[in-house]
Amino acid sequence: MTHLYHPNVPLVTRDGVTLVADVWRPLEGRTPTLLLRTPYDRRATHQFGGHNSPTPSLMPLINAGYAVVIQDARGTGMSDGIFEPKLNEIVDGQDTVAWVREQSWSDGTVAMYGQSYMGMVQWALAISGTPGLRAIIPTTAALDWYRDAWYSQGGAMSLSLNTWWNALMYSGQERRNSISDPGHNPASQERLDGALLDPLELNSFTPLADLPVHGTGRWFDDFIAHPGFDEYWKRQDWSGPEIMSKVSVPVFSIGGWYDLKVSGTVGGFIGVRRHGGSEEAREKSRLLIGPWDHTSFTGRFADRSYGIRAEADISAEHIAFFDENLRGVPLTAPAPRVRIFVMGIDRWRNEVDWPLPDTRYVGYYLDSGGAAATRHGDGVLQVTLPERDTFDEFIYNPHDPVPTAGGALLPAQPGLIGPVDQSKVDGREDVLCYVTPVLEKSLEVTGHVELKVFMSSSAVDTDITAKLIDVFPDGRAFNLCDGMLRLRYRGGLSTPSPLVPEEVYEVTVNMGLTSNVFLPGHRLRLDISSSNFPRFDRNTNTGGIIAHESVDAAVAASNRVHHGPLNSSRLILPIIAR
């Protein structure tokens, strides 16, 4: 036996709430401590990691000589108090680190790890300058809870995430209530548990504000009451330069190309590199991105697999980073600042920074391929400006939205997440397709993708969605990255304004980021529409508060994409030429 196990260890916070943790520590001596704080039950098996898990395996951490503390967050698991997302994580985390440093087996240094919410709690302590904290490894985590979690870069609600996650957390709270209160009515618990058996069904209910399983009076009400990036969300945004300047510890950011929070993962790395509060933070922070989704690092999806080459030894990556930053163990070889999996050629590559310093941004212009106006399927992507101005038109009907076909969906549903063959949406008259000629040589796209497009609509508000796709010689077409913009937010997420029907606006759609080599014989494709359901909520096109509207009140919108010499709609790609 090389370590001791202490279950159910209590810790009393500054406001008198008891938090409960399990502790593993070496038999003797003082050692650095690795801390994981979770709202998902510290004893759940996924907290202990495993092969191809985003979380490192517990035993390698222990065998490397570290003490490990896994704690239930306030109001979850066995910890007392009331859970409110993000609200108490700074003070509870500070109290936990202070407690760890007082223990006889602690050498006074602490690092943190964990994915998603467990990554956010790490950022909470890093930005607060917690004494004793020496390093963090936030995995698939967000800094900006509006753009990178509950809503999107373009202002639509991340619908399937909201309906599923809030039902999951409310279910846990109802279960706690049933244990502590013998008179508790189990009806709410039964409804929530039933909904979680098929969480995608929750997305069809409108108005969203009246979703029965979520009840009233809890944080979901706040989420839907603030559809724009207002003060409520600004207080929860930790991504700005001023806040990043408070981070003085090295950060190892880990994520996946098909993760909902990959923009936040990369944004955190960039923020610390540019604005970190110490040279150590700026120079020793790292970034790792694989062809993974939010919950699995296998690189294997229903329609496409990147195979064994997509795997990474996450436990070994953690231990090496902790050894360097907690124990000062020199690396046997310089660690890459950035390591990415390049799809298409399906191999790992080391880089000196992100964005890649040799990135060249190239515009691919939209054209109708000779037709005066096209509804779907025959548009063109070209590097030269079209000779004449025209438009492509489609009808967006909220009663029949374009179904989600791949991308960063949560919950992770097989066949809906990651790279998906776009034959599932091909041929729809509400999807415009623009493609390049067949490539004669390889073309690498690595970095942030953007669409600048001229739009008009018959409605006072509507959405535009955009998706970058790799078309194979045999006709299979796989999505790489995507984004959307709710057009009321074309001037900024804090300043909604209605459209003037039929007026043409130039807008920018943030399409996220990717790394892919389009091989000879392949083609690049851009799909444009006005819905991606249930990844995003449906725009009712009325200009009203969407969460409070029934789909029965929605109206169809006739939307146009304008392109030509004057309306130079273009896809902007980060090209790497080596």
Question: Taking residues 73-89, what's their average pLDDT?
Answer: 95
Same domain (yes/no): 199, 263: no
Is residue 163 included in any domain, yes or no?
Answer: yes
First-residue to last-residue Cα distance in the chain: 52
Question: Which of 177-191, 409-423, 563-577 shows the lowest per-residue confidence on average (mean pLDDT)?
Answer: 177-191
Cα–Cα distances in Å, from 21 out to 7, 69, 103, 162?
A: 7, 7, 14, 28
Using CA atoms, how far apart are residues 84 and 93, in angstroms rounded to an integer? Answer: 14
Answer left, alpha or beta for residue 464, where phi above 0 means left and psi between -120 and 50 means alpha: beta
Q: Which of 53, 79, 106, 116 is catalytic?
A: 116
| C-alpha closest to that of 431 among 465, 406, 390 | 465
| C-alpha closest to that of 9 among 1, 17, 19 | 19
Q: Are 28 and 108 in contact (CB under 8 A)?
A: no
pLDDT at 195: 86
Using CA atoms, how far apart are residues 27 and 33, in angstroms rounded to an integer? Answer: 14
The percent of residues above 90 in pLDDT, for the chain, comes to 87
Same domain (yes/no): 247, 136: yes
Question: Which of 181-190, 199-208, 219-228, 254-263 shows the lowest per-residue confidence on average (mean pLDDT)?
Answer: 181-190
pLDDT at 293: 96
Question: Taking residues 157-167, what's their average pLDDT?
Answer: 96
Which residue do the tokens 């790489």 mark?
Answer: 480
Same domain (yes/no): 197, 247: no
Q: Which of 92, 259, 392, 430 is catalytic?
A: 259
Helix axes 159-180, 187-197, angle to 10 degrees: 140
| C-alpha closest to that of 37 among 115, 146, 128 | 115
pLDDT at 372: 42
**Is 79 among the residues known to form the active site?**
no
Does the structure show a pLDDT above 90 at 139?
yes
Question: 489: helix, coil or strand?
Answer: helix
DSSP notation for 199-260: GGGGGG-SSGGG-GGG-SSSHHHHHHH--SS-HHHHTTB--SHHHHTT--S-BEEEEETT-T
Using CA atoms, how far apart are residues 479 and 406, in angstroms rounded to an integer? Answer: 7
Answer left, alpha or beta for residue 344, where phi above 0 means left and psi between -120 and 50 means alpha: left
Same domain (yes/no): 165, 313: no
Is residue 153 included in any domain, yes or no?
Answer: no
CATH code at 332? 3.40.50.1820
**Is 563 among the residues known to form the active site?**
no
Q: Are 458 and 548 in contact (CB under 8 A)?
A: no
pLDDT band at residue 175 under the 50/70/90 scheme: confident
Is residue 239 included in any domain, yes or no?
Answer: yes
Same domain (yes/no): 162, 238: no
Does the structure show a pLDDT above 60 at 55?
yes
Using CA atoms, how far apart are residues 154 and 120, in angstroms rounded to an integer? Answer: 21
CA contacts within 13 A on the Cβ side of 531: 23
Among 204, 226, 248, which residue terminates a domain? Answer: 226
Using CA atoms, how far apart are residues 229 and 231, in angstroms rounded to an integer? Answer: 7
Q: Give the pair of three-digit tokens for residue 278.
A: 């110490």
Same domain (yes/no): 265, 414: no
Using CA atoms, how far apart are residues 16 and 505, in angstroms rounded to an integer? Answer: 55
Helix axes 89-102, 117-126, angle to 10 degrees: 70
pLDDT at 329: 86
Dihedral sign from CA coordinates of 124, 127, 133, 137: positive
pLDDT at 556: 98
pLDDT at 373: 43
pLDDT at 187: 78
The percent of residues above 70 in pLDDT, for the chain, comes to 97
pLDDT in tens, 427-465: 999 999 999 999 999 999 999 999 999 999 999 999 999
pLDDT at 181: 65
pLDDT in tens, 111-130: 999 999 999 999 999 999 99
CATH code at 560? 2.60.120.260
Domain of residue 240, residue span: 3-147+234-351
Number of domains the chain is built from? 3
Using CA atoms, how far apart are residues 529 and 429, in angstroms rounded to an integer? Answer: 9
Among 226, 259, 274, which residue terminates a domain? Answer: 226
Same domain (yes/no): 419, 532: yes
Among 199, 226, 253, which residue terminates a domain? Answer: 226
Is residue 152 included in any domain, yes or no?
Answer: no
Same domain (yes/no): 193, 142: no
Same domain (yes/no): 347, 301: yes
Q: Give the pair of three-digit tokens for residue 413.
A: 């549903």
Q: Beta strand 570-576 with 443-457: parallel, antiparallel or unpaired? A: antiparallel
Q: Give the pair of three-digit tokens for residue 399.
A: 């009663």
Cα–Cα distances in Å, from 305 out to 297, 389, 555?
A: 12, 41, 40
Using CA atoms, how far apart are residues 462 and 446, in angstroms rounded to an integer? Answer: 30
Using CA atoms, how far apart are residues 252 and 175, in angstroms rounded to an integer? Answer: 35
Same domain (yes/no): 164, 203: yes
pLDDT at 371: 46
Does the structure show a pLDDT above 80 at 185?
no
Question: Which of 44-58, 307-321, 360-374, 481-495 shows the lowest per-residue confidence on average (mean pLDDT)?
Answer: 360-374
pLDDT at 218: 87
Question: Taking residues 488-497, what's their average pLDDT?
Answer: 98
Query: Against a cut of 0.85, is the pTM above it?
Result: yes
Q: Which of 294, 318, 522, 563 is catalytic?
A: 294
Residue 65: φ, ψ to 5°: 95, 15
Question: Taking residues 151-177, what's their average pLDDT?
Answer: 92
SS (H, E, C) 506-537: EEEEEEEEEEEEECCCCEEEEEEECCCECCEC
Using CA atoms, how far apart are residues 260 and 239, in angstroms rounded to an integer? Answer: 16
pLDDT in tens, 361-410: 999 999 987 544 444 557 999 999 999 999 999 999 999 999 999 999 99
Does the structure show a pLDDT above 80 at 535?
yes
Query: 215 or 43: whose pLDDT is higher?
Result: 43
pLDDT at 51: 84
**Is 116 among the residues known to form the active site?**
yes
Task: Please state, rounded to an integer, the average pLDDT across all residues of the chain.
Answer: 94
pLDDT band at residue 192 under the 50/70/90 scheme: confident
Same domain (yes/no): 136, 172: no
Same domain (yes/no): 395, 534: yes
